[in-house]
Amino acid sequence: MPHSTPDVAIVGAGPAGLMAAETAAAAGLRVAVFDHTPTPARKLLLAGRGGLNLTHSEPLDRFLPRYGAAEPLFRRLLAGFPPDDLRGWAAGLGIETFVGSSGRIFPVQMKASTLVRAWLRRLDGLGVTLHSRHRWTGWDEAGALTFRHDGESVTVAPRASLLALGGASWPRTGSDGGWAPLLEGLGVEVAPLAPSNMGFEVPWSDHLRDRFAGQPVKSVGLSAVDRSGAGRRLKGEFVITETGIEGGAVYALSAPLRDAIAAEGWATLTLDLLPDMAEAELVRRLRRRGAESLSTFLKKSLSLTGPRAALLREFAPAADLSDPVALARQIKGLAMVLTGVRPIERAISSAGGVRLSELDERLMLARRPGLFLAGEMLDWEAPTGGYLLQGCFAMGVAAGKGMVKWLGMKDSGTE
């Protein structure tokens, strides 16, 4: 059963897909969006439960390195749709934003649902049609897109197509990575999908797990070294879980830790339990301990209690606890061994996907002219903090403009 033929068919109703739909429709193209879930933007709505961190306020010279190896691509994408443009776009929907104390940018109402409703109204006004419960199954012999809907096969033959199907995290929202074999069948190189912005497994003692699972570890320094020897250090907090650790500061370092575990079977996350105190001052104070018990002294003189003190006892060698110099070294550089990565289904986002080298500057697949890709199904990753959504929105704008440009060139005979 064929659908009416649009100029552009977009498969995937997430941030990248819907932004591409808006961009193409605003240029006068007839756009249809297909998604296999019952409602659009489900992952965006789930992400918005914590307030919908749209983007970040830091300058681009600090923003862009968050994309790691994909920084050259995002330097171009964010030049076309920077954070200020995203805030302006939200304002055009009636959604005012503010900069939080951490520099992150949120809607004033702290709701994703309000933004999504306003966005869908705008798309409807632009003539964009939304088709739910359509699972993409590939192409037919003529090259038309094929879908499964209500037990029937549906074909759509647009002039240009965009796949924005997400990675493989949060599969209940529609991102399950099922698209990978279909693209690999075209000869497209796809990097294995892996968890990103996820928790890690730590072999806790029964004492630590029973006493501190569920508790946050606040105001600590964290550092990790990647396989090239480059390191990154930050200050933040994380949560002790039954199986290990999770939380924003851990997510920011997840890529090098994940890669180390994949290569070696384990990784080291180094903690500074007192990041605002110099090691020399710490040694000076520890030498004044006297006859007090270690736990009492750490509490009274260093305010080192609860989960932080428990972590010190969990990982520091017992011999170091009685030596002021060795103990100071442990407090400032406690090595926590991570032995596993939490599954991709529990991750906030995913790494891997279609290699960026498969795409041209318009985000069109070189092996299949007229087929564009965007969003998390491409091989890039970024930490939480607004960088993920900013990247997806900017990629959607670029893909939408790419389709408009390509169709214009095709119509003019200068393809």
DSSP 179-239: THHHHHTTT--EEEEEEES--EE----HHHHHHHTT-EEEEEEEEEE-TTS-EEEEEEEEE
Alpha-carbon span 316 to 319, nearest angstrom: 8
Phi, psi of 169 (to 5 degrees): -95, 155
Cβ neighbours of residue 397 under 8 Å, at least 6 residues apart?
A: 19, 20, 23, 77, 80, 81
For 335, the enclosing helix (H) or strand (E) is strand 334-338
Alpha-carbon span 353 to 188, nearest angstrom: 10
pLDDT of residue 358: 98
Please, what's the largest Cα pairwise distance for the chain?
88
Alpha-carbon span 368 to 357, nearest angstrom: 14
For 302, the enclosing helix (H) or strand (E) is helix 294-302
pLDDT of residue 7: 97
Q: What is the pLDDT along the chain (415 residues), one digit of tens a residue?
A: 556 689 999 999 999 999 999 999 999 999 999 999 999 998 888 876 778 999 999 999 999 999 999 999 999 999 999 999 999 999 999 999 999 988 999 999 888 999 999 999 999 999 999 999 999 999 999 999 999 999 999 999 999 999 999 999 878 777 889 999 999 999 999 999 999 999 999 999 999 999 999 999 999 999 998 766 667 899 999 999 999 999 999 999 999 999 999 999 999 999 999 999 999 999 999 998 888 888 999 998 899 999 999 999 999 999 999 999 999 999 999 999 999 999 999 899 999 999 999 999 999 999 999 999 999 999 999 999 999 999 999 999 999 999 999 999 777 666 6
pLDDT of residue 136: 97
Residue type, 109: Q
Please answer whether residues 197 and 348 qualify as being in contact, where contact means their C-beta atoms are separated by less than 8 angstroms.
yes
For 99, the enclosing helix (H) or strand (E) is strand 97-99
| Cα 65 off chain centre by | 14
| Cα 22 off chain centre by | 23
Alpha-carbon span 311 to 270, nearest angstrom: 12
Dig out the tokens for 244 from the structure.
């290990």
Bridge-based pairing of strands 371-373 and 160-163 is parallel
pLDDT of residue 227: 66
Phi, psi of 308 (to 5 degrees): -65, -45
Dig out the tokens for 282 from the structure.
């710490």
Q: Output b/e per residue, 178-212; b: 16+ Cβ within 10 A.
A: ebbebbeeeebebeebbbbbbbbebebeeebbeeb
Please answer whether residues 306 and 298 qualify as being in contact, where contact means their C-beta atoms are separated by less than 8 angstroms.
no
Among residues 67, 114, 135, the alpha carbon closest in space to that of 378 is found at: 67
Cβ neighbours of residue 291 under 8 Å, at least 6 residues apart?
A: none
